[in-house]
Structure 1
Amino acid sequence: MARKTKAEAAATREALLDAAEEVFLEKGVARTSLEQIARHAGMTRGAVYWHFKNKADLFQAMLNRVRMPFQELVEEIGDPSLADAPLEAIRLACVSGFARLERPRYRRVHAILIHHCEVFGDIDPLAMQNEMAEESCGALRDYLQSAARLGQLREDLAPEVAAKLLQSMLGGLFHDWLRNHEQLSILEQGNLLVETQLGLFRRQA
């Protein structure tokens, strides 16, 4: 059999991840086997093991396709002037994140992580959620500390408290949206809430 090209191997890997998303969403992670994922993709189980060590490795790869590190969201905006406007950087990064979450893949994978995944083998969904939340809160804290140094944050509001407030609001919005995504636009509602929250944080002239 001819050896696959890198492009063909990459396409196979993506097809397996696509299949995993669909089967995990339907059956739940614990009740899904690698054999079922392979069949759903029209492949053999050997194809799965060629690309992934086990189900936990496949699950992590699926999650990585929708990871949104906060700093990356800021960097993708590509505006160097945001270094002097950390509150605006937060707002724009949140808007970018909301826009991504409205894409079907992002919603599916986060729904799997939150609602269709139990602790199973090396898969610990709570630990994964905590890691993502800690990364986000840490980045928010850094930007809010910068805003305080620049005199843009209310003097009576500690950056650490502001970061927790914003993180809690974003978490609540995220869970409300996952439960009711057909009626709630996370982009529209998120824009309003983040802008309002940052307005309350901002030092008035």
Structure 2
Amino acid sequence: MVRRTRDDAADTRARILASAQKLIRQRGLHCVTLDDVARAIGMTRGAVYAHFRSRTALLGALLSCAEADFAARLAPLSQARANAGPGALERLLAALLHGDDIARHVSLVGFLLQHKCGAACELCPLRARVLRAVEILHDTFAALLPEPGLAGLLVAHLWGLLSARALQLAPSGLPGCAASLARLYVGPGMQPDAHALPATVRRVDSTGHAALLRDIP
């Protein structure tokens, strides 16, 4: 009975998160409340609050989903030494652009990046987590580019592609853009023979998640 109850709770939590992601993508994060999420899946407000006591708690769980998506995509690249060196940038971009799993997080990430307040609040730690991830992604690109100073531009370029996909302004086949995007930043014969991704990305914890987004409270 206990096992069944725990499984039911996990299933309910997953349904709530899936509903929230769908509504946020359709309406934008500012237009979505816990009540909206509950109504979308035929649950009571109390049932949703039993899992997430505030909107911030729900956003934190959604951010953890985004972090897990990034980690899962980068884990194969960070674990296999043979994946480093020439072509590493294209493989990294293809992994990040594959499917819609990352694009569905664009609204949440954009909202947190734009969040500003005069004093510490519940959203500030979430924004700090996003900024750490962006910084590590920047450093990852810098290590793979012949001109490290272009890393910030590449991050912005990647964000633009994912945002366009989230708004359905770009096709779902974004991985096909990886080769062209890599060529824009790495000319023929200019790819550095990097040993592997940076140490912060190479490390893999006991759960198998890449350390890129490992620092989850």
Normalised to the residue count of structure 2, the TM-score between the two structures is 0.65
Name the amino acid aligned to 1:80.
Answer: R
Name the amino acid aligned to 2:135.
Answer: E
Identity across aligned pairs (percent)?
A: 22
Alpha-carbon distance between aligned partners in 1 of 2:47 and 2:32, rounded to the nearest angstrom: 16
What residue in structure 2 maps to residue 80 of structure 1?
81
User: Equivalent residues in 2 for 1:1-205 (5 A)?
Assistant: 5-67=5-67, 73-77=73-77, 78-82=79-83, 85-99=84-98, 102-103=99-100, 105-114=101-110, 119=115, 122-123=122-123, 130-141=131-142, 143-144=143-144, 154=146, 157=147, 159=148, 161-183=149-171, 185-199=173-187, 201-202=190-191
Cα distance change, pair 119–41 in 1 and its aligned pair in 2 (3 A)? farther
Alpha-carbon distance between aligned partners in 2 of 1:116 and 1:27, rounded to the nearest angstrom: 16
Normalised to the residue count of structure 1, the TM-score between the two structures is 0.68
Q: Please provide the CA RMSD for this pair.
A: 3.6
Give how far 1:169 is off. Answer: 3.1
Q: Which runs of 5+ in 2 are unaligned?
A: 193-217
Give how far 1:128 is off. Answer: 6.2
Q: How many residues align?
A: 185
Alpha-carbon distance between aligned partners in 2 of 1:16 and 1:181, rounded to the nearest angstrom: 27
Larger RCO (CA under 8 A, 6+ residues apart): 2
What residue in structure 2 maps to residue 147 of structure 1?
none
Alpha-carbon distance between aligned partners in 2 of 1:117 and 1:36, rounded to the nearest angstrom: 23
Q: Which runs of 5+ in 1 are unaligned?
A: 145-152
